[in-house]
Structure 1
Amino acid sequence: MNSAAPTGLRAGAGRVLRHDLSASLVVFLVAVPLSLGIAVASGAPLLAGLIAAVVGGVVAGALGGSAVQVSGPAAGLTLVVAELVATYGWRATCMITVLAGLAQFLLGMFRVARGALAVSPAVVHGMLAGVGVVIALAQLHIVLGGKPQSSALENVRELPGQLIDNHTPAVAAGLLTIAVLLAWTRVPARLRIVPAPLAALVVATTAAWAGGWDIARVHLPDSFAAWNGPLLPEGSWQGVAGGVAALALLAGVESLLCAIAADRMHDGPRVDLDRELAGQGVANMVSGSLGGLPVAGVIVRTTVNARAGARSRWSTIMHGCWVLLFSVAFASVIELIPMAALAALLVFIGVQMVNLGHVRNLRGHRELPVYLVTMGGVVVLGLAEGVLIGLGLAAVIALRRLTRVSVEVERAGDRWHAVVAGSLTFLSVPRLTERLRAIPSGADVDLSLNVDFMDHGAFEAIHAWRLDHERGGGTVDIDEIHEKWYTGAATGTPPRPRKALPGIPVRWWLPWPDRGPRPRPARDRHPAPPVTPRPAPADLLAGTREYHATTAPLIRPVLTRMVRRQTPNHLFITCADARVVPNLITSSGPGDLFTVRNIGNLVPRHGAPVHDDSVAAALEYATEVLKVRTITICGHSGCGAMGALLSGGAKTPDLPGLDSWLQHGHHTLARFLTAGDPAGPDAPAASGERGDLDRLCRLNVIQQLDNVLTHPRVRRLVEAGDLELVGLYFDIASARVHLLDQDTFRPIRHTPSP
């Protein structure tokens, strides 16, 4: 036990030195120029940006709940901070930062962090985009040698005159900075190791120094002797409380959203949102006390940190230490930076905050109006006003969606089927009655109500239509799938509302022939005719319609997020047998499995005489491009391909293509003749020909795992510990999945919910 602990410590230290140290240096190079620029835009002392970067790295990194998130001064808070500085002064703003941090800490301790995520992302992204526009317009005047105006609209009005006025050498420094930032993505890869913001400031600073330009430069205080602590704000307590609330909410929401995004960038521990919010609160209390800017999670630095290979919070902590060391030891270097170059960097950052990727995603979610209205409100009216307008519009759109209803009517033989799904309110009555009255008079109707709410107006509309239809000689059989709203209203005992996802198809995993209409109760005057299988095209089209009506609205946000790329962690190779459904037996969804299916779940050996590149191509793409972490071979009981192998080709005399493909299974057959059953006494019960077939199916899984290792790249990744091979066996009769390898065969047990 005594030797194990030092070994674990050495391994942990090795990981930190190998991954986190290099990542921390990269993030440090990004953090310094961005922190200085954000301090300029906030109207705060330049040193305040560096203090916030140090505190965000060390304090928030150590106490926060995310493994790779990097905190520091955030561009999204600049308008709030600038307004507070203009209203109360810098020292009072530091006290407001301390109070906002205290509020964040208490919210984290009371475990309400997830409540902050109720703010629509469309509002958050719109707010950040609006802040970016305001920053860019204001700092552009500094780049052009002038001064920013008091509002975004005034900055726009003054811009033409600013463009045609005479300019100082500061313009050259600013334009040179922007040019380097734009061109940096096209320089050789070995140069792009240096972050673009740092490269741009180095080039602009060098040019200004070499040319002897007479321009304003960064000024840091010579010492901390004149430092004064935070000061209580003077003014109405309502205004101060509003500033504290705004700063705590915006910084908290931005940090939590960033932490959630960071979880998609790494495979380490998942974020603890309450701990993250509390850690951000402590960091803001410390930063405000030391005279620093407010701290929040920053998506740019977090992305750089994750892409640089960070594995733990040590990268964030060390980056803060590097900022502190640089600020103390190389302050004279910082003072060479032209202020116009920092302004140009802020223009570039502001433009990037209008993220077109968010625009595309929100358009797919039909939330683009919220984004645009919020952004416009922030630019034209101000931050608080824009956010409030965006929240109001988001609430209106959400209310409209909650009252949306789906009404599908189709004829099936001699009967008509109508399915109503959603929340039925008086707003839905016109569309509902229009669709129901399209059913011919005298028809027999099955009406399925899959609703989570029905108000009195909707009940009266359905009930009146039913009475009219039955008076015309037709029949109406009502089946309430979700709640007994109609029955309860008719009897005077409405059910207690129990919100659930509407429109989810009942027993969606059943085969098409098993999804016939439910048996009618004894009161039905027309017994149901026997269910007859429909033609295959009809099944496909009916299934597609069901998908569009029920599943597509629920899964669309997930797929919209994945539209640009797929990032599965698993390559799943299984049989083409129709009874094996990979996403069903693994409870996985879109983007989880990169799936290859073929007859017999075979993997041709590398360099096999029977040439086939399809599986090899999938292996190359999955390991080289997708960077999957596991390759799974999943066999199953009663496999027809294995049965054909056992028959020695007797079952495939007229199938030359299949016969050629099954030659890749000859190693499995040879193993069968010499090896015992890998399942041992734990194998599912079978005997005779069935027992031999299932034994061959299990041996085939092990053989295909060996075949995978004949591919050189896969073997290298496995030996390096970057790739894991897994064998699964699906017993169809028992619907059980077993873990299978050379030494073990065990069922994967059900874990009961707590």
Structure 2
Amino acid sequence: MLRDTKSSWLSTLRHDVPASLVVFLVAVPLSLGIAMASGAPLAAGLIAAVVGGIVAGALGGSAVQVSGPAAGLSLVVVDLVHTYGWRATCMITLLAGAVQLLLGVFRAARAALAVSPAVIHGMLAGVGVIIALSQLHVVLGGSSQHSAVANLVELPGQIADLHGHKVAVGLLTITVLAVWTRLPAAIKVIPAPLAALLVAAVTAWAFGWDVTRVDLSDSLTEWAFPVLPQGDWHLVVASVLLVALLAGCESLLCCVAVDGMHGGRRADLDQELTGQGVANMVTGALGGLPVAGVIVRSTANARAGARTRASTILHGVWVLVFAIGFGWTITLIPMEALAALLVFIGVQMVNLGHIKKVHGHGEVPVYVVTLAAVILLGLAEGVLAGLALAALLALRRLTWVTVLKRPDKDGRLHVTISGSLTFLGVPRLTHELRAIPAGTPVDLDLNIDFMDNAAFEAIHSWRLDHERMGGTIDIDELHDEWYTLAASGARMFPVKSPPVAPDRWWLPWAQRHRRPGHRMVPSIGGAMRVECQLTAGAREYHRRTAPLVKPIFSELARKQQPTHLFITCADSRIVPSLITASGPGDLFTVRNIGNLVPRRGSEPHDDSVVAAIEYATQVLGVHTITVCGHSGCGAMAGVLSAGVQAGSLPGLRRWLRHGNHSLATFIETEGGRLHSGALDVLCRVNVQQQLENLRTYRKVDEQVRAGKLELVGLYFDIATARVHLVPPLRSTPSVKMHDRRVPAGEE
């Protein structure tokens, strides 16, 4: 126990303390800048950083997430301060924390993840644009306007009326921030925001520039308890919920993102939301900004090597020590430098990586609408607009129906309906089906995961009409039998079907959703008969697979160029293309009982395997010959019984003589002992022996020695569906690479 405690302390000193210092250096300038952008006292940013570090760090559910004042909430705080005053805003923060606490207690954190990331990213980008535009006026020596549009309109006039020293400090700060990432790693140990503010402050002091200084002398000691907001209580409640939900969503999404940056325990989202709630109650009571998980600080913490929550807590302690003992140093920072830092942060909040992600999922409209609405209308309005559009797009995707028609050469029309069939898709569905000419034989595939009554009635009504006009319809359902159940009057499922791959060619006939052997077809005399499984399978191939593989076979029709000769057993359970993940044109395959390769000149004489080997190596020019055996091989059982199990099958007994060398090798290696696993051992030895038999052919042996041909042994364990590499009996330069185990996942 003592050793574990000592190890824990050493780990904290080695990893968490240095990481906490890095986060502290990042947090101080960012907290001051966000407080400035929020229209709050600058000390409120430091208070939030302290509370976010100590309280949220101690009570939250993430080991490395760092909480503090968030730029994404600055617009809300600006509006609240303007409407209710600072002390009332602190009360709203406190009440929002209570709401978060209740949501965490009732385990509602997962619901916050249902918010589309496109909305969150669009909101943050909109906030970034507003912050950058407003603080750019301060950098240029003026003051920000009441809205983003006003800031944009007034910008040309502000540029024309520059204030020299103030502009110089702002431009210097932005330059340092932009250049800092390109400097050597030893210099980048100092966080860019801190370095930029230090350079700006020192330069302004050294040259005596006329800039606006930060005044923080008595802010930390002037405290008064928050007061209740005055005004319409509906609006107050809406403000509380807005702060609670925005801060909670940002914290939880940040928590999920940070989880992928470290190898420790995964975050408990409900505990994280509870910790955020308590932290917001404390920061509101102390006069601080709202607290949320912040991706910049959390990323810095994870990359600095933090292992536990000790780093987050310590960073809050360092901020508190700095604010109490060295708060006077903040007065040296020019306000224009803080404004420039905010401009830089605002620009970075428009993240191109986020745009690429949402573009890949077709959610750019949600992102753009949210961003534009936040800038033009406000934060709450922008978020609501984004959520509304995201919901509409999701509804459109869920109800989108595709109807594909493809005429076959035999005059049949192949129709595939895909999607979720609801009443919203009935107009399009009806239009497409009614356009099919009367009397046409139709193969209808329903690739759907849901069907409501309106959709069923539409399809069923069309089917009855089409058959009444002389047409035929063959319906095949690839998921659950929604149509069949509805037509029989059975109770429908209340939820959507889980997705099932439509092309399951690798399943045995007996295990497929649709069993070809059960299909009834008319015979010549008019009677109904059961269609042959192979014929039905070929028909299914023509309908489903042939159109997909036709381009491949069109190229292969000119010439085959396989790279492997694959010799395996005729056992029905061995599917070469399945166990090797190969496709048409890859394998030149030879199959026989026992995957045997008769030795040169052996009796009984057999030319079929030899002919395949000669053609593959001398005409096709294959690079590899693979012999693949398998567990429980009946041929090897016959060899092991000295032909007794071959019974009255003279041809089989003669053929199994080619396995005598395998039996001799088995006896030599196993000492003639017969044990429970003897058969499978012989199956593996047989593979090795057939590789030796291949070397009895001069052309094969020459190519192997020249390094032009590789001999590979495989063993398929049927029960576990695993493929093993079998090392050869003798090692050559061309086959030594196979004296190893199969990589993880194949062994």
Superposition TM-score tier, normalisation by shorter sequence: 0.7 to 0.9
Deviates most, 75-84 or 234-243 = 234-243
Letter in 1 for 2:254: C
Letter in 1 for 2:717: I
TM-score normalised by structure 1 residue count: 0.72
Counterparts of 2:26 and 2:502, CA distance in 1: 50
- Counterpart residue number, 1:51: 47
CA shift for structure 1 position 150? 0.9
CA shift for structure 1 position 117? 1.4
CA shift for structure 1 position 99? 0.8
**CA displacement 1:60-114 (0-9 Å, x = unmatched):** 1121111221111000000111111111111111111111111101100100111
Of 445, 448, 453, the residue aligned with 1:448 is 445
Counterparts of 2:493 and 2:623, CA distance in 1: 62
3-state SS of the aligned residue for 1:448?
Answer: strand
- Counterpart residue number, 1:478: 475
Quick check: 1:516–1:531 contact (8 Å CA) kept in 2? no
CA shift for structure 1 position 258? 0.5
Counterparts of 2:272 and 2:50, CA distance in 1: 17
RMSD: 4.3
Change (3 A) 1:434 1:259: same
- Counterpart residue number, 2:174: 178
1:531 and 2:524 aligned: no
Letter in 2 for 1:689: L
CA shift for structure 1 position 348? 0.8
Counterparts of 2:382 and 2:240, CA distance in 1: 18
- Counterpart residue number, 1:585: none
3-state SS of the aligned residue for 2:53?
Answer: helix
Quick check: 2:172–2:200 contact (8 Å CA) kept in 1? yes
Counterparts of 1:419 and 1:273, CA distance in 2: 43
Deviates most, 233-242 or 447-456 = 447-456
1:61 and 2:54 aligned: no
Letter in 2 for 1:24: S
Letter in 2 for 1:424: L
CA shift for structure 1 position 130? 0.9
1:105 and 2:98 aligned: no
Quick check: 1:254–1:297 contact (8 Å CA) kept in 2? yes
- Counterpart residue number, 1:233: 229
TM-score normalised by structure 2 residue count: 0.73
| Unaligned segments of structure 2, at least 5 residues | 523-527, 552-574, 588-592, 600-609, 627-664, 690-713, 726-740
Counterparts of 1:142 and 1:503, CA distance in 2: 59
3-state SS of the aligned residue for 1:169?
Answer: helix
Deviates most, 41-50 or 10-19 = 10-19
Counterparts of 1:170 and 1:52, CA distance in 2: 28
Change (3 A) 1:223 1:163: closer
Counterparts of 1:32 and 1:683, CA distance in 2: 72
Deviates most, 186-195 or 507-516 = 507-516
Change (3 A) 1:490 1:255: same
- Counterpart residue number, 2:119: 123
Counterparts of 2:597 and 2:282, CA distance in 1: 67
1:735 and 2:717 aligned: no
1:498 and 2:495 aligned: yes
Counterparts of 2:409 and 2:31, CA distance in 1: 70
Quick check: 2:67–2:291 contact (8 Å CA) kept in 1? yes
3-state SS of the aligned residue for 2:516?
Answer: coil
Quick check: 1:405–1:424 contact (8 Å CA) kept in 2? yes
- Counterpart residue number, 1:466: 463
Change (3 A) 1:79 1:223: closer
Quick check: 1:513–1:533 contact (8 Å CA) kept in 2? no
CA shift for structure 1 position 397? 1.1
- Counterpart residue number, 1:378: 374
Quick check: 2:139–2:336 contact (8 Å CA) kept in 1? yes
Counterparts of 1:9 and 1:682, CA distance in 2: 53
Quick check: 1:61–1:313 contact (8 Å CA) kept in 2? yes
Counterparts of 2:720 and 2:484, CA distance in 1: 38
CA shift for structure 1 position 530? 3.8
Letter in 1 for 2:537: V
Counterparts of 1:452 and 1:516, CA distance in 2: 15
Letter in 2 for 1:339: M
Q: How many residues align?
A: 612
3-state SS of the aligned residue for 2:212?
Answer: coil
Which aligned pairs between 1:509-658 and structure 2 lie closer than 5 A? 510=507, 518-519=515-516, 525=522, 528=531, 529-532=535-538, 539=545, 542=548, 578-580=577-579
Quick check: 1:422–1:503 contact (8 Å CA) kept in 2? no
- Counterpart residue number, 1:692: 685
3-state SS of the aligned residue for 2:538?
Answer: coil
Deviates most, 116-125 or 139-148 = 116-125
Change (3 A) 1:391 1:682: farther
Counterparts of 2:437 and 2:450, CA distance in 1: 27
Counterparts of 1:39 and 1:97, CA distance in 2: 14
1:324 and 2:320 aligned: yes
Change (3 A) 1:523 1:694: closer
Counterparts of 2:353 and 2:241, CA distance in 1: 30
Quick check: 2:135–2:342 contact (8 Å CA) kept in 1? yes
**CA displacement 1:219-277 (0-9 Å, x = unmatched):** 11337543212222222221221111000000000001111111121222112111111
Deviates most, 500-509 or 327-336 = 500-509
Identity of aligned residues (%): 58
Which aligned pairs between 1:679-718 and structure 2 lie closer than 5 A? 686-687=679-680, 689-692=682-685
3-state SS of the aligned residue for 2:125?
Answer: helix
Counterparts of 1:33 and 1:178, CA distance in 2: 14
Counterparts of 2:4 and 2:597, CA distance in 1: 46
Which structure's CA Rg is the greater one? 2
Which aligned pairs between 1:424-439 and structure 2 lie closer than 5 A? 424-433=421-430, 435-436=432-433
Quick check: 1:96–1:243 contact (8 Å CA) kept in 2? yes
Counterparts of 1:508 and 1:421, CA distance in 2: 20
CA shift for structure 1 position 120? 1.4
CA shift for structure 1 position 660? 9.4
1:75 and 2:81 aligned: no
3-state SS of the aligned residue for 1:532?
Answer: helix
Of 271, 294, 298, the residue aligned with 1:298 is 294
